[in-house]
Amino acid sequence: MIKLFSIAVGLFYFFNANALEILNAKIKLLPPASKTTAMFLTVKNDSDADQKIVNIKSKISDEIELHNMIMEDGMMKMRATNEILIPKKSSVELKPGGLHVMIFNLKSALKENDEHEFIMELSNKEIIKFKALVIPL
Amino acid sequence: MKLFFSILILIGILFYSYKSNQTHNNFNYNPNEIELDATNGKLKLEMFSEKIIILYFGFLSCPDFCPTTLSKISKVFKGLTPDEQKKFQFFFIDLDPKRDDIKSITEYLNFFSKDFIGVKMNDRQLLSFSQFFKIKYRYVPLNSELKYTVDHAADLVLYSPSKKQILEKFSHSLPAESILESLKKY
């Protein structure tokens, strides 16, 4: 009985382990010649602790970075950022003209409606897997 | 005596502002006459004297903002009637001549519209050209795979080659519907 209970608890934690939920992940379909693209998504943090995204990995590229767009002095500026903070009990939208994920040196050209797997690493070493859809944006 | 000095100072101010204006605006510069290396061959803006030119300055390794603007423009053009479309010509001025060649600019633009014209200039040409259109840009080293990025004004410039005049500027944040509405007035 205790064994069964611990399995149940284990399963519960297994399915609820992620502090963050990834929604609506989309990769921008760009001209086939383009080796660089951007990914947008919404990150929901229902936990009671602030979370920080520190890294994103995928088989489609070895160089994936977190970036931000800032409008300043009448110029659009793109900057790399080391982490993206997702405050507790809130969600952050990575969208065009703001925070986004940059994917460099794509290993092969992206195709519309393809899905690709990603791994997100948080500052607390937690790992979240998610899929993103390739669409023209 | 007081009046005399005031007039003298006034003349001084006028002369100074005239001079600084001159160096700033580059009065002698005529963008129409510059031979441009474009995606459809060599051309000059004066060849489009019957049209209104829409200019956007950007670079190809900008995967976020530049493609968003290009797809916005292609949407705007689709909203115009064929007769209205003929009144305008869209130009993409590449701000990253070191990384972007004419072949990649062509492929990139064709993805959005076959009617878009892309232009590549050398650094010096680009500086005077963008100054004329009052588009600021700057190369900034980046701690990234990208090595450096181009900070740039993301406005759309409406230019009349026949009047040699900027007619209007659209802010980067203006939605396609509003741009379409403004273009239909011409």
Chain A neighbors of B63, CB-CB under 8 A = 28, 30, 34, 36-38, 102-103
Share of chain A above pLDDT 90, in %: 75
In this prediction, residue B19 carries a pLDDT of 45
Partner residue facing A75 (CB), from B60, B111, B152: B152
* pLDDT at residue A100 is higher than 50: yes
In this prediction, residue B65 carries a pLDDT of 80
Q: By the CB < 8 Å criterion, does B70 face chain A?
A: no
- Tens digits of per-residue pLDDT, A5-25? 666 655 555 555 577 999 999
In this prediction, residue B21 carries a pLDDT of 43
In this prediction, residue B23 carries a pLDDT of 43
Q: Which neighbouring-strand residues pair with A42?
A: A23, A93
Mean pLDDT in order along chain B per 10 residues (186 residues): 57 49 61 95 96 96 84 95 97 96 93 95 95 96 91 96 96 93 95
Dihedral, CA atoms, B78, B100, A66, A20, nearest 10 degrees? 40
Residue with tokens 């409008």: A71
Contact predicate B120/B97, CB 8 Å? yes
In this prediction, residue A29 carries a pLDDT of 92
Task: Write the single-letter amino acid at B64.
Answer: D
Mean of per-residue pLDDT scores for chain A: 89
Question: Which A residues in the span 100-129 are in contact with B, Cβ-Cβ below 8 Å?
Answer: 100, 102-105
CA angle centred on A47, ends A42 and A53, rounded to 5°: 50
In this prediction, residue B45 carries a pLDDT of 96
Residue scoring higher pLDDT (A35 or B129): B129
* pLDDT at residue A4 is higher than 70: no
